[in-house]
Structure 1
């Protein structure tokens, strides 16, 4: 089934001057259609996402991480199997369950910890990276070098999900309607345990969550709270948390982020995220001008080699 799936990509509609954001809960399809061939793939003005989004398989050879989380690519990526004893991959039609082997191993460890510490059957894994990383046709600005992964805040069911369920099912919204705190009807100690387990992984550099989730973690964490420094508020993480790991040892072409200091739990740390301007943003007086998409010329030079390299044998 997987070999058939990876040779098809969902054709996602593009908005004028940009793309329609593929949010974590956007539904997929069990019958994805291939992206159409490019009329001029050598056009220097062509968005790099159009090139990377059409690569269905990784390159052969050893893993090589090039660039930064939001501007780079990966050679020799590995695929997280769509089913494990304690994990399942969602939205298979996106073909985004590729990453550096270190991230694959971390997710496998985390899924086992979730089973042990939170009492969950396992985790549901969302977007990781494309087969060769790079910008995506839709959605994330990061996830480009195989060192990012999304984990749903919905426990894995104790059964194998169908293809239809993986494309249609939505994760549970964890944030209260007023956006000021978590929803106590769905938030459990198990959610804290899973995020804590991820943050305590030595290689984890950042975990992004909704500010209301960060607020709950700050309030409820006991004992050693040092892991809270890695957990940071960010937009669009109401249903899932985003794991980012540091560059692999010896990966001189990879650029990490500096570590964060402090728990990030003070009133001043969180004030911005609960300000009226953030919770209830006013529409702009003038429509925003479309941003220029990232072209291959704006990416690390070696990403051209990654695009041109032969496919790995599957």
Structure 2
């Protein structure tokens, strides 16, 4: 009888917490930028995995962590606590890591930022990566010797660009294997886009002789010369996930790419002397989908036990066709052992 009463009480408390969250941000949350709220949460919510909102304006529930180490991957910059994602993204990264190793990409991949434990805006570095469906992969292969925690924090990025020339890939660094790895990432049906530097996109347009139908997924964007960014589609049934407009037909080796090689994308904005300077307003919790307040306030998920070769885990709730390349020139980016506080995929994907 006592256990039944305790169960009823716990259920009532959980319901009250949820109702409070659904009512909207608290007074304290209202005055705090969303990036500080989400950046200060160490663990995901105890809920079904769901992306909420858009890639650059949302959050996520029920995230799982990419293990810090795998046979064909290592997670980088562990201090950021950004190796969380939707299970479908974690599954894809593990599959991609194996495929990259088979292509001769070292012993696998180095994975950069995915998302924070509950997604949302980050304290630094990204405008997207908010719903667990984006991930960065370094343009540096995983070395045969595992990287130490310190090396993961301090190891520098390697740019694929020749810094002495405008938007030009460095032929001493870029190899056919780099191209194969990027195109492998674009080959998965669940991948929506792969973002790279415009110079890298141009290099692929000029040299890729494999299936060029996939080139349209590879999109040019600022930066992304030291890593490439994989974005997957909203999972089936994720009604709260806002889809991105599909890529346009074709390989993208056209005027839309040539624009990046003009002055317009790089020109500094001209200040209006008659306009008063306005301090940029930070993104607040109220700017995000309403469900993000509930995600932020939900009980945390904590791992009680795990079998890392696969198996169930118990969680407890705690408070709060080849064609010739097109001519762009004509038209002119000793790991720590997982602790009991890091939920991992259940069961381990693709084991």
Which residue is equivalent to 2:253? 265
Which residue is equivalent to 1:3? none
The alignment status of 1:297 with 2:283, answered yes or no, reads: no
CA contact (8 A) 1:209 1:234 kept: yes
Q: Structure 1 runs of 4+ off > 6 angstroms?
A: none
CA distance in structure 2 between the aligned counterparts of 1:68 and 1:277, rounded to whole angstroms:
27
44-53 or 146-155, which deviates more? 44-53
The alignment status of 1:42 with 2:31, answered yes or no, reads: no
Which residue is equivalent to 1:217? 204
Shift of 1:223: 2.9
Shift of 1:43: 4.8
SS in structure 2 at match of 1:205: strand
SS in structure 2 at match of 1:42: helix
- CA gap of 1:290–1:118, structure 2 versus 1, over 3 A, is farther
Shift of 1:106: 0.5
5 Å-filtered alignment, 1:163-312, equals 163-177=149-163, 178-261=165-248, 262-266=250-254, 268-279=255-266, 281-282=267-268, 284-285=270-271, 289-312=278-301
CA contact (8 A) 1:118 1:189 kept: no
SS in structure 2 at match of 1:313: strand
Structure 1 segments unaligned to the other structure (5+ residues): 1-39
Which residue is equivalent to 2:92? 106
SS in structure 2 at match of 1:131: coil
CA distance in structure 2 between the aligned counterparts of 1:158 and 1:290, rounded to whole angstroms:
48
Shift of 1:237: 0.5
SS in structure 2 at match of 1:50: helix
78-87 or 45-54, which deviates more? 45-54
CA contact (8 A) 1:118 1:191 kept: no
CA contact (8 A) 1:74 1:133 kept: yes
SS in structure 2 at match of 1:118: coil
Shift of 1:269: 2.3
Shift of 1:284: 4.6
Cα deviation 1:241-300 (Å, max 9, x = unaligned): 00110001100010111221211112x222221113435x34754697432111111111
174-183 or 98-107, which deviates more? 174-183
- CA gap of 1:256–1:275, structure 2 versus 1, over 3 A, is same
173-182 or 41-50, which deviates more? 41-50
Structure 2 segments unaligned to the other structure (5+ residues): 1-25, 304-351
CA distance in structure 1 between the aligned counterparts of 2:278 and 2:71, rounded to whole angstroms:
47
CA distance in structure 1 between the aligned counterparts of 2:145 and 2:240, rounded to whole angstroms:
41
SS in structure 1 at match of 2:205: helix
TM-score (norm 2): 0.75
CA contact (8 A) 1:41 1:51 kept: no
Equivalent of 1:137 in 98, 102, 123 = 123
Give RMSD over aligned pairs: 1.7
Which residue is equivalent to 1:35? none
CA distance in structure 2 between the aligned counterparts of 1:157 and 1:138, rounded to whole angstroms:
27
CA distance in structure 1 between the aligned counterparts of 2:155 and 2:232, rounded to whole angstroms:
27
Cα deviation 1:174-224 (Å, max 9, x = unaligned): 011123321001001111111111100101111110000000111121131
CA distance in structure 2 between the aligned counterparts of 1:232 and 1:289, rounded to whole angstroms:
32
SS in structure 1 at match of 2:60: strand
CA distance in structure 2 between the aligned counterparts of 1:283 and 1:259, rounded to whole angstroms:
29
51-60 or 288-297, which deviates more? 288-297
